[in-house]
């Protein structure tokens, strides 16, 4: 295998992902991990082997800027980290392939399903997969609000804008600029299942992580768990999703009676993926080996009851240079 190099896009605070990809590069025979962001004030960017500034993903020059960095740095694998990048990069995969860069992103169709909670719910229903009841605001009435419901922006992420609704008055207080859907509150404990999908659309691994605590919509405390039905459901979701590829995650509530409901799909690395890596699931190394035409030897077995307890750390820089 030739030398591999990664580019973490919108690196932000993804310092652990940079560290993991450096381990992957070393295991693959050597390489570098670069980062791009629209700001120099990115901790993960300064932990990488090089940082380049690019426009915001909403800028028309975003893809061209990434292409320039990938070509100059010799990037073999581009790793997106935030939802707004996914449709843009999914549509541009061919342009990156022309310069030898594989984008770890699913098809535009899969991304569209995952990113819009209304589309996610419709797709889950049509696929016969378990999910909570969901309604548009126009279909919500007082009778349906006899028990608390959850209102969330259809295109939101990281729990931004989510509101527990206890009556019609709460609906009137929702931000009118956001396209809200309203769902029944799922029962039980929330699990995020990291899945690995190969180029043929087969799910090779599923690692459930119990969310013990979250902060700003991202897991801050978690534990890997063995649960055959939960793993099987995540595999079913991943393999039914048209054009899924790479490392994604499926969010599922599991109650005491064993009932499960899929609430969201994220077509990218989740913020809690470092826990799956620490538990032994070498998903990104597997992708690198498959992409090189090798029979992957990366570990897909993993240990249950591995716990992640996050804390804040700092990167200190001399800004005078």
pLDDT per position as a tens digit, 98-143: 999 999 999 999 999 999 999 999 999 999 999 999 999 989 998 9
Give mean pLDDT, residues 264-272: 96
Strands 149-153 and 246-254: unpaired
Q: How many CB atoms lie within 10 A of CB 37?
A: 23
Residue 321 confidence (pLDDT)? 65
Q: How many angstroms separate the first and last alpha carbons of the chain? A: 37
For residues 216 and 246, the answer to whether their CB atoms sit within 8 Å is no
For residues 191 and 232, the answer to whether their CB atoms sit within 8 Å is no
- Return the residue matching tokens 């931004």: 160
pLDDT band of residue 172 (cuts 50, 70, 90) is confident
Lookup: tokens for 318: 């001399």
For residues 75 and 6, the answer to whether their CB atoms sit within 8 Å is yes
Provide the H-helix boundaries in 54-129: 62-73, 85-91, 93-98, 108-115, 117-126
pLDDT for 1 beyond 80: no
Provide the H-helix boundaries in 178-282: 228-240, 273-278
Backbone angles phi, psi at 117, to 5 degrees: -65, -25
The Cα–Cα gap between 245 and 296 comes to 16
pLDDT for 203 beyond 70: yes
For residues 257 and 189, the answer to whether their CB atoms sit within 8 Å is no
Strands 134-136 and 180-184: antiparallel
Give mean pLDDT, residues 252-276: 97
Q: How many residues does the structure list for the chain?
A: 321
Residue 320 confidence (pLDDT)? 87
Q: Which region, left, alpha or beta, applies to residue 59 given φ > 0 means left and ψ of -120 to 50 means alpha? A: beta
- Return the residue matching tokens 């909670």: 117
Q: Which region, left, alpha or beta, applies to residue 219 given φ > 0 means left and ψ of -120 to 50 means alpha? A: beta
Convert the pLDDT of each residue in 42-77 to its tens digit: 999 999 999 999 999 999 999 999 999 999 999 999
Element (H, E) at 183: strand 180-184
The Cα–Cα gap between 117 and 9 comes to 24
The Cα–Cα gap between 306 and 78 comes to 28
Q: How many CB atoms lie within 10 A of CB 289?
A: 20
Q: Which of 86, 105, 100, 81 is nearest to 11 (CA)?
A: 81
Strand locations in 235-285, DSSP E? 246-254, 260-266
Mean pLDDT across the chain, nearest whole number?
96
The Cα–Cα gap between 137 and 178 comes to 11
């Amino acid at each position: 295998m030739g030398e591999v190099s990664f580019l973490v896009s919108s690196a932000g605070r993804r310092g652990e992902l940079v560290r993991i990809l450096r381990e992957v590069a070393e295991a693959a025979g050597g390489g570098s991990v670069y980062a791009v962001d629209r700001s120099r004030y990115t901790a993960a960017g300064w932990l990488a082997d090089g940082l380049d500034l690019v426009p915001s993903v909403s800028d028309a020059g975003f893809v061209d800027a990434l292409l320039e960095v990938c070509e100059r740095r010799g990037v073999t694998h581009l790793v997106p980290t935030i939802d707004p990048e996914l449709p843009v990069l999914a549509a541009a995969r061919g342009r990156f392939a022309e310069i030898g860069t594989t984008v770890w992103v699913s098809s535009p169709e899969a991304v569209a399903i995952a990113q819009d909670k209304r589309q996610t719910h419709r797709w889950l229903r049509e696929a016969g997969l378990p999910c909570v009841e969901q309604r548009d605001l126009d279909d919500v009435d007082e009778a349906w609000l006899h028990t608390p419901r959850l209102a969330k922006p259809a295109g939101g992420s990281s729990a931004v804008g989510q509101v527990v609704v206890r009556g019609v008055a709460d609906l009137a207080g929702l931000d009118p600029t956001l396209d809200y859907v309203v769902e029944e509150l799922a029962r039980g404990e929330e699990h995020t299942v990291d899945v690995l999908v190969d180029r043929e659309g087969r799910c090779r691994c599923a690692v459930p992580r119990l969310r013990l605590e979250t902060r700003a919509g991202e897991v801050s405390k978690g534990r890997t768990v063995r649960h055959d039905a939960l793993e099987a459901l995540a595999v079913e979701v991943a393999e039914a999703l048209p054009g899924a590829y790479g490392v994604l995650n499926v969010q599922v509530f599991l109650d005491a009676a064993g009932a499960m409901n899929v609430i969201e799909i994220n077509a990218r690395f989740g913020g809690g993926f470092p826990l799956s890596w620490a538990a032994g699931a070498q998903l990104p190394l597997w992708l690198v080996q498959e992409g090189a035409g090798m029979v992957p030897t990366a570990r897909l077995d993993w240990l249950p009851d591995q716990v992640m307890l996050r804390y804040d750390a700092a990167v200190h820089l001399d800004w005078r240079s």
